[in-house]
């Protein structure tokens, strides 16, 4: 894992266009566990929601869900920023649950009310993959270029980007896999 091997389930997708530095991918419906939060709840840590979701699936011992059922970790961890003005930026973090969970009601109910189980319909994204640490500067450069490339090629952008990170924090940066994903029609 230090060298970036991704040994967990990742979402299936179909590449409908490739080249020009990005891909257009279609993803089938999936079930996700997510938590939305103000990073100040976690001492300013934008990744503070990770522990909440990890406890739900049982990464640190007994799962914090009503069965309690251990749920396999998947990749990527998906984050999106949004919400209020400059002082109140919210972050939504998502774990896509393993493919065995076809509907939200198939997944065990969380015991932490901050965790929401939801169904994600089929999705279509413009995607650019990059290595290294997903620092804000690098991510915003990727978003700006991808947005420009998608608009140039006639794709309609439907929402803001999401960041997908595939590796644990201890993976050496050159071996990390990250993606900026922009929803398109």
Q: pLDDT, tens digit, for every residue of 61-111?
A: 999 999 999 999 999 999 999 865 555 689 999 999 999 999 999 999 999
Backbone angles phi, psi at 140, to 5 degrees: -65, -35
1, pLDDT greater than 90: no
Backbone angles phi, psi at 158, to 5 degrees: -105, -25
Q: What is the pTM of this model?
A: 0.93
Q: pLDDT, tens digit, for every residue of 161-170?
A: 999 999 998 9
């Amino acid at each position: 894992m230090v060298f970036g091997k991704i040994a967990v389930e990742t979402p299936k997708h179909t590449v409908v266009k490739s080249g020009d530095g990005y891909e257009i991918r279609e993803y089938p419906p999936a079930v996700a566990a997510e938590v939305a939060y103000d990073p100040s709840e976690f001492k300013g840590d934008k990744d503070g929601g990770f522990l909440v979701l990890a406890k739900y699936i049982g990464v640190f011992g007994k799962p914090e869900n009503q069965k309690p059922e251990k749920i396999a970790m998947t990749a990527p961890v998906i984050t999106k920023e949004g919400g209020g003005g400059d002082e109140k930026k919210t972050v939504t973090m998502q774990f896509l649950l393993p493919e065995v969970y076809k509907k939200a009601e198939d997944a065990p109910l969380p015991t932490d009310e901050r965790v929401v189980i939801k169904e994600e319909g089929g999705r279509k994204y413009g995607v650019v993959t990059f290595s290294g640490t997903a620092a804000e500067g690098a991510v915003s450069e990727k978003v700006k270029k991808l947005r420009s490339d998608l608009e140039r090629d006639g794709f309609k952008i439907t929402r803001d980007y999401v960041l997908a990170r595939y590796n644990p924090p201890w993976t050496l940066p050159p071996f990390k896999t990250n993606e900026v994903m922009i929803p398109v029609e």
